[in-house]
Amino acid sequence: MRLGWIDLLHFRSYDRMRFEPADGVNVLVGPNGAGKTNLLESIGYLATLRSFRGVADEVLIADDADEAVLRGEVTSQRGSALVELEISRSRRRRVLINGSKPGRTTDLRSYVRVVAFLPDDIDMVKRGPALRRGLFDDAAVQLWPAAAAEQRDYERAVAQRNALLRSGRVDRFTLQVWNDRVAHAGAKLMQRRRAAAEALMRHAPATYAAIAGRETPVELEYRSTWGGDLSDEDDTADLLAEALEASEGVDRERRQTTVGPHRDEPRFLVAGRGARDSASQGEQRTLALSLRLAELRAVAEVAGEPPILLLDDVFSELDAGRAKALAAALPGTQTFVTTARVEDVPLEGRRWDVTSGKVD
């Protein structure tokens, strides 16, 4: 998969810009604040319709403008797609693919997928469980685009059950209805999370060994708040429904849904020890990178070709050996790498100088 070109209008620090990258590795070099991450973010947005920085659309519009426009051409085995996007402060976002509105936003993912390596990825390992749940859920969307709608269904069901609990007018019958919805949506979410975790863990020991330079056991432990786990599939909905019923008392008191996949705690283990509590900073970073590499391999398998790679400033934090190993583990696909110091990047490629608002 590759990006042929991208046009930006009033996107973040870019007033008007056209970028025609090379097919292989593109190294984007520039000082802090030059707009390197912004450019990567625009490519990610074009492919996924959301910012990898997790911010609201409005933040992407240049400060002095009312709307941002992104246009670009992406090519995969399926053919080429012209993607056009308009983000406005006052209107709904507009998306066109080859000139027409996509039936579902998932259509875009049949043309293009991206995997992004970000400096904050280490937080998946270091911080609370929400980011680890996010890793599985985001990977699931990249692997099976239909997972996105299932995740929204679950979030909505939990939000509505919570709204009922907060309303102070909780009757058993209505609560039962929402228990059922949460349980069914939760079972679907869990099925995807299981499959995504399995796909990632199938590759992670090898990708960890590739970066670290030695075999190290990498494991995943899934602690559930409701008795569900990553192995059995059949009775997930029943199990979750029972747990929801059992926690009705607590939930009424706390006015929120306290059990379910949205509270589960995935944990990574490196060499048998909890990575959050016991791994060194370098090991945590290696694990985060190996999980992204695992995602990349899983996505390439499912899509039948490697996705576009975005690497935001990832080499500067690694020692020379690990930086080289990471570079060697990447597939030969179109890659965008940002750096403030070009000597930190052990990849050969087309070099671009990024200055405020310009790339050449």
Ligand X SMILES: Nc1ncnc2c1ncn2[C@@H]1O[C@H](COP(=O)(O)OP(=O)(O)OP(=O)(O)O)[C@@H](O)[C@H]1O
| Residues found near ligand X in the complex (CB under 6 A) | 12-13, 30, 32-38, 59, 61-63, 313, 338, 340
Q: How many residues bind Mg ion (CB under 5 A)?
A: 1
Residue (37 or 257) nearer to Mg ion, CB: 37
Token pair for residue 144?
A: 């099976």
CB of 38 to ligand X, least distance (A): 3
Question: Per rule CB under 5 A, is residue 339 in the interface with Mg ion?
Answer: no
The C-alpha angle with vertex 49 and arms to 103 and 338, in degrees rounded to 5, equals: 150
CB of 283 to Mg ion, least distance (A): 24
Residue with tokens 């403030």: 340
CB of 16 to ligand X, least distance (A): 13
CA distance 330 to 40: 18
Residue (25 or 337) nearer to ligand X, CB: 337
Question: Per rule CB under 5 A, is residue 38 in the interface with Mg ion?
Answer: no
Query: Nearest to Mg ion by Cβ — which residue?
Result: 37
266 binds, among Mg ion, ligand X, none (CB under 5 to 8 A by kind): none
* CB-CB neighbours of 284 under 10 Å: 21
340 binds, among ligand X, Mg ion, none (CB under 5 to 8 A by kind): ligand X
Residue (26 or 37) nearer to Mg ion, CB: 37
Inter-residue contact 51 to 41 (CB < 8 Å): yes
Q: Tell me the H-state helices in 247-343.
A: 248-254, 275-278, 281-303, 320-329
CA distance 248 to 262: 16
CB of 89 to ligand X, least distance (A): 11
Inter-residue contact 11 to 38 (CB < 8 Å): yes
Residue with tokens 């000597």: 343
CB of 12 to ligand X, least distance (A): 4
Residue (45 or 178) nearer to ligand X, CB: 45
Inter-residue contact 335 to 345 (CB < 8 Å): no
CB of 249 to ligand X, least distance (A): 47
Question: Per rule CB under 5 A, is residue 37 in the interface with Mg ion?
Answer: yes
> Minimal CA–CA distance to 188: which of 153, 158, 219, 136?
153
Residue (184 or 358) nearer to ligand X, CB: 358
Distance set, CA 339 to CA 80, 250, 266 (Å): 29, 50, 32
User: CB under 5 A: which stretch of 29-37, 186-194, 215-223, 272-280 binds Mg ion?
Assistant: 29-37
Provide the binding-site residues for Mg ion, judged by CB under 5 A: 37
